[in-house]
């Protein structure tokens, strides 16, 4: 069964076409980027190495999706596949409290998704648009929504409630939701597999460290706490997001420093984090600058690392111990230096890093004697979306 996975953002649509069922094969992937801008383009790449990048007028999401479908047909390998896309899986950022798992889309689901846009005004509307266009352009092909928040719906109230008037939760749904759920749940499952132990018996801390960063505590495969909150701004220091700050800071920015709410929002989301601390958002460049003696770069790394350490400590307490600390995403998978720095204090838990294995980005990079395992697992959110879509579409066929 051929499943198309779409990640629709405000100005780009990332796509991957999978052959599912009889194995799992990625056939084509690409991006329609800079939608609505003058220099929009479409890039696609098939597994056989066939590549294509061309400037293309993409005034809106409809035009971009049409271009994606045309590009898929253009790839020899995918030609048959695209004639028969049998399901489309959409990454949707916010599923609120309504979705604890992926959902086959019908009119009722669409209505709930539209309501949820209130909670994620930047992120959900492009996904909804993507779904609407697919429903129209691929009539009869089922669509599935896979939510970034869903895996965290297992958190107990003590973890998801803020110390705010309860009516803000009851009337306005203000609570911690958590994001990156697809990634955290995937690496938790893969970690259990690599350890050869049932997920149900494990206490895991998963660190998704990319441009966006978040950390999750899993008890028996259920997320019991996570660092992102009502929005993806809370928690760790990220590429351009501040993570945790005193909640009085944004008020001070607005009331005392005269920023508009939009300016304060931009400052916290787009101008803070690593970028704000040292002028660079990309960890590779920051590491290089620190090696060359940049104090600002070293400070940014220190702040980044210390925040992760504090969360690992907190989640170890919340879990009552930890079996494995798992790293994923751009920084987590690739930077042995950052991993090693983060894990430095955890000798007291019995954790022993094998530095040679760490430098090779090995799946398990703790020593044989280590009481806690240190791991790297490459995340694959698109594959999870393809799997969920395949499962729901196949189940629908059985019940139809």
Q: Which parts of this chain interact with ligand ADP (CB under 6 A)?
A: 210-212, 239, 282-284, 287, 329-331, 334-335
State which residue, 287 or 354, has the beta carbon closest to ligand ADP: 287
Who contacts 286 (Cβ-Cβ below 8 Å, separation ≥6)? Answer: 274, 278, 280, 297, 300, 301
Greatest pairwise CA separation for the chain in angstroms:
65
- Integer Cα distance of 311 and 313 in angstroms: 5
Return the number of the residue (244 or 287) whose C-beta is nearest ligand ADP.
287
384 in Cβ contact with 392 (< 8 Å): no
Nearest to ligand ADP of 381, 388 (CB atom): 381
Which is closer to ligand ADP, CB of 316 or CB of 336? Answer: 336
The residue to which tokens 């799997």 are assigned: 387
Q: Torsion-angle region of residue 156: left (phi > 0), alpha (psi -120 to 50) or beta?
A: beta
- From the list 148, 225, 380, 388, the catalytic residue is 148
CB of 291 to ligand ADP, least distance (A): 12
State the minimum distance, in angstroms, from the CB of residue 123 to ligand ADP: 14
**What's the closest the beta carbon of residue 282 comes to ligand ADP, in angstroms?**
4
285 catalytically annotated: no
Residue with nearest beta carbon to ligand ADP: 330
Starting at the earlier edge strand, list the strands of the sheet with 373-376.
222-226, 213-219, 203-209, 324-328, 373-376
CB neighbours of 175 closer than 8 A, spacing ≥ 6? 160, 161, 162, 169, 230
**Could you tell me the smallest distance in angstroms from the CB atom of residue 1 to ligand ADP?**
27
Mind telling me the catalytic residues?
148
């Amino acid at each position: 069964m051929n499943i198309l996975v779409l990640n629709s953002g405000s100005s780009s649509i990332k796509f991957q076409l999978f052959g599912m069922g009889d194995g799992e094969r990625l056939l084509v992937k690409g991006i329609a980027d800079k939608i609505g801008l003058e220099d929009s383009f479409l890039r696609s790449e098939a597994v056989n190495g066939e590549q294509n990048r061309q400037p293309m007028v993409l005034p809106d999401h409809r035009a971009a999706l049409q271009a994606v479908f045309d590009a898929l047909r253009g790839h020899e390998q995918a030609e048959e596949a695209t004639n028969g896309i049998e399901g489309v899986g959409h990454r949707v950022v916010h599923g609120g409290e309504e979705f604890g798992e992926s959902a086959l889309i019908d009119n009722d689901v669409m209505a709930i998704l539209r309501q949820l846009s209130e909670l994620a005004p930047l992120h959900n509307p492009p996904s909804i648009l993507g779904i609407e266009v697919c429903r129209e352009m691929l009539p009869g092909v089922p669509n599935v929504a896979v939510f970034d928040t869903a895996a965290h719906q297992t958190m107990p109230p003590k973890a998801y409630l803020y110390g705010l008037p309860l009516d803000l939760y009851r009337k306005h749904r203000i609570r911690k939701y958590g994001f990156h759920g697809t990634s955290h749940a995937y690496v938790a499952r893969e970690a259990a597999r690599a350890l050869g132990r049932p997920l149900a018996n494990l206490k895991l801390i998963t660190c998704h460290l990319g441009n966006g960063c978040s950390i999750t505590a899993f008890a028996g495969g259920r997320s019991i706490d996570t660092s992102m909150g009502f929005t993806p701004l809370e928690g760790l220091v990220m590429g351009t997001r501040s993570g945790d700050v005193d909640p009085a800071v944004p008020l001070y920015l607005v009331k005392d420093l005269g920023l508009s709410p939009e300016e304060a929002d931009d400052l916290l989301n787009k101008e803070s984090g690593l970028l704000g601390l040292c002028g660079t958002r990309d960890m590779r460049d920051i590491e290089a600058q620190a090696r060359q003696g940049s104090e600002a770069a070293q400070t940014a790394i220190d702040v980044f690392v210390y925040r992760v350490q504090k969360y690992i400590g907190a989640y170890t307490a919340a879990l009552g111990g930890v079996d494995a600390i798992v790293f994923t995403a751009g920084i987590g998978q690739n930077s042995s230096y950052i991993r090693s720095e983060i894990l430095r204090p955890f000798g007291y838990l019995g954790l022993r890093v094998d530095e040679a294995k760490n430098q090779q980005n090995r799946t398990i990079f703790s020593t044989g004697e280590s009481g806690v395992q240190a791991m790297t697992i490459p995340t694959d959110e698109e594959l999870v979306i393809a799997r969920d879509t395949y499962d729901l579409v196949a189940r629908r066929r059985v019940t139809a």
